Amino acid sequence: MKYLDEYRDERIAHGLVAEITRCVTRPWVLMEICGGQTHTIMRYGLDELLPPEIELVHGPGCPVCVTPLETIDKAIALALRPDVTLVSYGDMLRVPGSNSDLFRAKAQGGDVRIAYSPLEAVKVARANPDRKVVFLAIGFETTAPPNAMAAFQAKREGLKNFSMLVSHVLVPPAIRALMTSRQNRVQAFIAPGHVCTVMGFQEYEALVRDFAVPIVVGGFEPADLLEAVLMLVKQLEQGEARIENQYVRSVSYAGNLAAQQIMKEVFEVADQKWRGIGPIPNSGLRLREEYRAHDANKVFDLQLVTADEPAECISAMVLQGLKKPTDCPAFAMRCTPENPLGAPMVSAEGACAAYYHYRRHTVAS
Amino acid sequence: MCLAVPGKIVSAEECNGLRSARVQFGGITRQVSLDFVPEAAVGDYVLVHVGFAISVVNAEEAQRTYQLLEEMGVLEEELPQEAEVADEGRR
Ligand code: SF4
């Protein structure tokens, strides 16, 4: 495992840890929402540097992990159609559907292509007018404006052969669902820095008010996360609940208005199912009626029977911060990144994969 | 997929009605849309997510963040080859 010793800002980090240790008097449970932050925490062993009073639990912030099984099944079914080219972000290929995954669909002759940007999917449609090109548009608020731009561009160009299978998730409704759950243990949140780069942090004010829960917008570097933890601990210890911004170098109160505008133009808020968690009201996005010609759910007749998740996968508990990946009996045994049983083992940002890469050996010994 | 990678704008142009740039990340360059950062100019550093710049950042921070992402080994996932789609499309 790689620890902080090779990390440049080691001195800053140790200073922050000392300050956190000085401030803390009681146990606190903090959740980082974003999978990118989970990855940094595991990679640098930040959780093990913190005083024992502070428990970090990992939230549902991996868009790959929470994309519903039904959506994966639809994408696989589309990919296997001879007239369809399915374009996806690379980390979706190994996500298990009910019976298969996109990687296998590709091996079976399905035309599956990996894109780095949604505009590349539009490019494929432009270059192949005889193919029906479907883009699997997943992501949080950070990815929604780029995906929206793809639909906007296709509509503007009148690209009839381009559609999107949309599975977008929103962070604030997920925090609301966690806070209203009777099982909730989380007492403070680190909000995701790149989501807030796009959305700003005004949306989080209502959460702070309604649940009296401290929220700090945090970046992705070790020192960012430790500073966010310190800001939260100070609030908790003083009995305060405010929204604060640690990631000022990228996040403003109002966010990126140009990005928000295209997102609103193309998408509208809708109920959304989260894999492992279930439906959360108003927690997703769907294409507006004006974009129905580019909505794969409307262009294709997609009636599918979906099987259940493997019973031994406890990803629902993991994604809600109720269990750690290492509590799962399948972890690193029957479930590995090469043969994932559940989605959180697939993406580098999934909590199970992060534990697998950085904690497997410590746990075993 | 939650990450954004900082890079430097080396050239900018209009392409299919969208403002687009070549952005340099360490040793590689990628085509990046500047539609969400109208204020960005050649020489600026931007945070890039799935081919779109989402904010302008200062040069020193950009370099530090880039090195960190490199050290974490996540760049390959965030900046995959852009050729696959485009080249197959042209066949
Ligand atoms: S280790 Fe695998 S089976 Fe267990 S919760 Fe994580 S993804 Fe599911």
The stretch A158-177 carries a mean pLDDT of: 96
CB contact under 8 A, A256 and B54: yes
Q: Which residue of B has its CA nearest to A249?
A: B57
Tell me the residues of chain A between 57 and 96 that have a Cβ less than 8 Å away from chain B: 61-64, 87, 89-91
Q: What does the pLDDT look like over B37-72, one tens digit per residue?
A: 999 999 999 999 999 999 999 888 888 888 888 877
Picking from B69, B46, B7, B51, the residue whose alpha carbon sits closest to that of residue A224 is B69
Percent of chain B scoring above 70 in pLDDT: 79
A292 close to A163: Cβ distance less than 8 angstroms: no
Are A90 and A148 in the same domain? yes
Q: What does the pLDDT look like over A15-50, one tens digit per residue?
A: 999 999 999 999 999 999 998 899 899 988 999 999
> What are the boundaries of each domain within chain B?
5-78
B67 to chain A, any CB pair closer than 8 A? The answer is yes
Whether A204 has a pLDDT exceeding 80, the answer reads yes
**pLDDT category, A5, cuts 50, 70, 90?**
very low
Question: How high is the ipTM of this complex?
Answer: 0.88
Measured distance CA(A118)–CA(A149) in Å, rounded: 8
Are A242 and A351 in the same domain? no
**pLDDT category, B90, cuts 50, 70, 90?**
very low
Percent of chain A scoring above 90 in pLDDT: 75
Structure-token pair, residue A30: 């903090």
Give the residue, out of A335, A355, A357, A360, with the most ligand 1 atoms within 8 A of its beta carbon, to mutate for a pocket test.
Answer: A335
Are A244 and A319 in the same domain? no
**Atom 1 of ligand 1, residue of closest alpha carbon:** A331
Are A16 and A151 in the same domain? yes
How is domain B5-78 classified at the CATH fold level? SH3 type barrels. (2.30.30)
> Does any domain span residue A363?
no
Whether A319 is in the pocket of ligand 1, judged by its Cβ within 6 Å, is no
Q: Which helix (H) or strand (E) holds B49?
A: strand B45-49
> Does any domain span residue A331?
yes
Domain count, chain A: 2
Whether A68 is in the pocket of ligand 1, judged by its Cβ within 6 Å, is no
A129 to chain B, any CB pair closer than 8 A? The answer is no
Are A61 and A172 in the same domain? yes
The whole domain housing A336 covers: 315-358
Residue with tokens 């994969």: A353
The stretch B22-33 carries a mean pLDDT of: 90
Which pTM was predicted?
A: 0.90
Neighbour tally for A248: CB within 10 Å: 10
Are A175 and A289 in the same domain? yes
Query: Which chain A residues have a beta carbon less than 8 Å from that of B17?
Result: 153, 156
Are A342 and A252 in the same domain? no
